[in-house]
């Protein structure tokens, strides 16, 4: 019996030695989760996964979901059949185009199969040539391929194409981080990058209601939803920094507004991260992009926390970040015009290389601990 299947190959997991079982189980859970609500059976066979018994009318949706799971190196839509030449040839006819150059490439997982890989190539290639006179063999640069994978259990897989997955590692394999997510272009990309390396990402957003409006919050929720495709996180926490911003504005040197606010953001993030069991903070900062993202600016925010701060975009140019944001579908949302809390009370000349001693003396004018506690009382959790 021949049936349509999707063959999934995983990336990097094989490198993990003794942890391999853990990675594979996690990968299975993530694949199952991505296929939730769609009829299917998922099976692990040596070195790859097979999706079977799915609704063929929904194949595009299934493919899209699989392509977005981190850890998927490549996948192919193909046919599963008996491992004997007639069935393999029937499938090859379905996979191979009517004309043009082609090549058959066989892989033998089952070494007891009576023919060698080369012999299968020759046999199936020969039969295809007689069935379709418009075809021509080209072993170097063929236009199309017919891949034959002869498996254990008397089965063979036949497919024509390797489609690229996103690579990376299964989400959940690399601990947990708290992403400081704004409505901008960078932070959603930063979250995506960490999830790609297997990190489970929780989100925190700071707002300055009523200086920023509901639409700004909606925008962040849309961004969080869009990256949920990859991160599998369906929860956003928000904290109000209105009072903090007003206090800074009223009492401190205006050129330090952003610097001081960022230190509060980091303190609040660390408090929440520890509550949530997150092991690090993640931001979308990129070296030198704006006044607060100099090494001095980063040092001043790092100084108030002990958790590591991961900045996966630190060495990226803006256009490289934009390219990724387009690819993951966040760009269109990020460029909507709603105001972020950082832009409220923005000074005309923010300090580019603030001295820690100056920052600390200005900060002494504030009741830092009280402001932090007060802000923490505004926590809201939004699930979607």
Half-sphere exposure of 261 (CA within 13 A, CB side): 32
From 20-28, 56-64, 76-84, 289-297, give the range in contact with ligand ATP by CB under 6 A: 289-297
Q: What angle do CA 243, 244, 250 make, to 5 degrees?
A: 85
Neighbours of 95 (CB within 10 A): 22
Residue 283 touches which of Mg ion, ligand ATP, none (Cβ within 5-8 Å per kind): ligand ATP
Q: Nearest to ligand ATP by Cβ — which residue?
A: 184
CA 98 to CA 112: how far, in whole Å?
32
* Binder of ligand ATP out of 26, 104, 280, 342 (CB under 6 A): 342
Annotate each residue in 297-336 with x if it binds Mg ion (CB under 5 A) or - if it does not, as one string.
----------------------------------------
Residue 81 contacts Mg ion per CB under 5 A: no
CB 163 within 8 Å of CB 76: yes
From 22-30, 89-97, 287-295, 367-375, give the range in contact with ligand ATP by CB under 6 A: 287-295
b/e map of 171-197 (b: 16 or more CB within 10 Å)?
Answer: bbbbebbbbbbbbbbbbbbbbbbbbbb
Residue 300 contacts ligand ATP per CB under 6 A: no
Residue 285 contacts ligand ATP per CB under 6 A: yes
* Binder of Mg ion out of 81, 155, 182, 238 (CB under 5 A): 182
CA 365 to CA 351: how far, in whole Å?
18
CA 183 to CA 75: how far, in whole Å?
33
CB of 186 to ligand ATP, least distance (A): 3
* Binder of ligand ATP out of 76, 231, 292, 294 (CB under 6 A): 292
Residue 206 touches which of ligand ATP, Mg ion, none (Cβ within 5-8 Å per kind): ligand ATP
Torsion of CA 14, 20, 22, 27, to 10 degrees: 20
User: In the range 163-182, which residues lie near ligand ATP by CB under 6 A?
Assistant: 180-182
Beta-strand runs (E) in 109-199: 135-137, 144-150, 155-159, 163-164, 176-180
CA 202 to CA 200: how far, in whole Å?
7
Residue 198 contacts Mg ion per CB under 5 A: no
Residue 284 contacts ligand ATP per CB under 6 A: yes
Residue 184 contacts Mg ion per CB under 5 A: yes
Would you call 92 helix, strand, or coil by DSSP?
helix
By the criterion CB under 6 A, which residues form the site for ligand ATP?
A: 180-182, 184-187, 205-206, 283-285, 289-290, 292-293, 340-342
């Amino acid at each position: 019996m021949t049936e349509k299947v999707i063959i999934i190959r995983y990336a990097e997991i094989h490198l993990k030695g003794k942890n391999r079982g853990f990675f594979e189980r996690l990968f299975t859970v993530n694949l199952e989760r991505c296929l939730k609500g769609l009829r299917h059976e998922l099976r692990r066979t040596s070195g790859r996964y097979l999706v079977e018994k799915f609704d063929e009318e929904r194949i595009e949706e299934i493919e899209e979901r699989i392509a977005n799971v981190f850890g998927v190196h490549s996948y192919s839509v193909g046919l599963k059949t008996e491992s004997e030449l007639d069935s393999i040839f029937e499938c090859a006819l379905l996979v191979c185009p009517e004309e043009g150059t082609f090549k058959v490439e066989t892989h033998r997982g089952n070494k007891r199969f009576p023919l060698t890989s080369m012999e299968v190539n020759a046999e199936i290639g020969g039969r295809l040539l007689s069935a379709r006179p418009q075809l021509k063999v080209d072993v170097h640069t063929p236009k199309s391929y017919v891949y034959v994978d002869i498996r254990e259990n008397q089965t063979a897989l036949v497919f024509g194409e390797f489609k690229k997955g996103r690579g990376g590692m299964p989400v959940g394999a690399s601990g947990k981080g708290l992403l400081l997510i704004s409505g901008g272009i960078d932070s959603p990309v930063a979250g995506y990058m960490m999830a790609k390396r297997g990190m489970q990402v929780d989100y925190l957003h700071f707002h300055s209601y009523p200086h920023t409006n509901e639409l700004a919050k909606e925008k962040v929720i849309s961004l969080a939803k869009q990256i949920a495709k990859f991160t599998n996180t369906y929860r956003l926490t928000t904290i109000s920094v209105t009072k903090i911003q007003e206090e800074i504005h009223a009492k401190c040197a205006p050129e330090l507004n952003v610097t001081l606010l960022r230190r509060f953001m980091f303190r609040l993030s660390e408090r929440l991260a520890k509550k949530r069991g997150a092991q690090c903070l993640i931001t979308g900062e990129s070296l030198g992009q704006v006044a607060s993202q100099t090494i001095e600016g980063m040092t001043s925010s790092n100084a108030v926390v002990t958790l590591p701060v991961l900045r996966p975009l630190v060495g990226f140019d803006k256009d490289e970040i934009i390219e990724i944001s387009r690819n993951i579908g966040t760009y269109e949302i990020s460029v909507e015009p709603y105001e972020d809390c950082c832009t409220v009370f923005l000074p005309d000349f923010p300090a580019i290389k603030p001295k820690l001693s100056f920052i600390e003396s200005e900060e002494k004018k504030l009741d830092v601990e009280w402001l932090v506690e007060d802000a923490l009382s505004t926590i809201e959790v939004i699930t979607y």
